[in-house]
Amino acid sequence: MHEYVSALEQAAELPTLKRIIALWEKKRAGRPAPLRADFDPAEMVYALGDLSLFDVEDNPRRYWCRLDGTRQVELFGIDCTNKYLDECFPPDYYALAYKSFTEVMETGRPSLYQRQIPYAGRLIRYEVALLPLSRDGTRLDMLLVALTPHWE
């Protein structure tokens, strides 16, 4: 998987995402995914406004936002902190996010997307890395979302 993650890092356009992907890979240390406890916010000060953290629930699959980054809140106009993903977004955007989140959680492989989408009456452009995490080292049950807007 190291080569796959290196390719993601190279494909990222924005330096913040390159750094977060590299940090995730370093913390992974050969495991399927790093532990949530491996991350210290002090190591990621440069990206804190770009990061959201989701708990992953099964049966049914839902995504609970523990923390929503301030730049993400600014971009989308909603703070998802302490809400489920499906409670935050209109159906079309929720479907896009749900599909992307679920693909990462089912494959166990991080993903990178560069998107330009209509949202709330305007066109927004952003780059997002979806990085799976584990609480116990055996089960993937959290998702770190690093989303950086392209402000134009």
> Closest Cα to residue 65, out of 82, 48, 87, 46?
82
CA-CA distance, 143 to 152, in Å (whole number)? 28
Query: Which residues, given as ranges, of the chain have pLDDT below 50?
Result: none
pLDDT on residue 151: 60
Rounded mean pLDDT of the chain? Answer: 90
CA-CA distance, 121 to 98, in Å (whole number)? 21
Maximum C-alpha span of the chain: 43
Please provide residue 112's backbone torsions phi and psi, each rounded to the nearest 5 degrees.
-130, 130
Assign residue 102 a region (left: φ > 0; alpha: ψ between -120 and 50; beta: otherwise). Answer: alpha
pLDDT on residue 51: 95
Report the Cα–Cα distance between both ends of the chain, in Å, rounded: 34
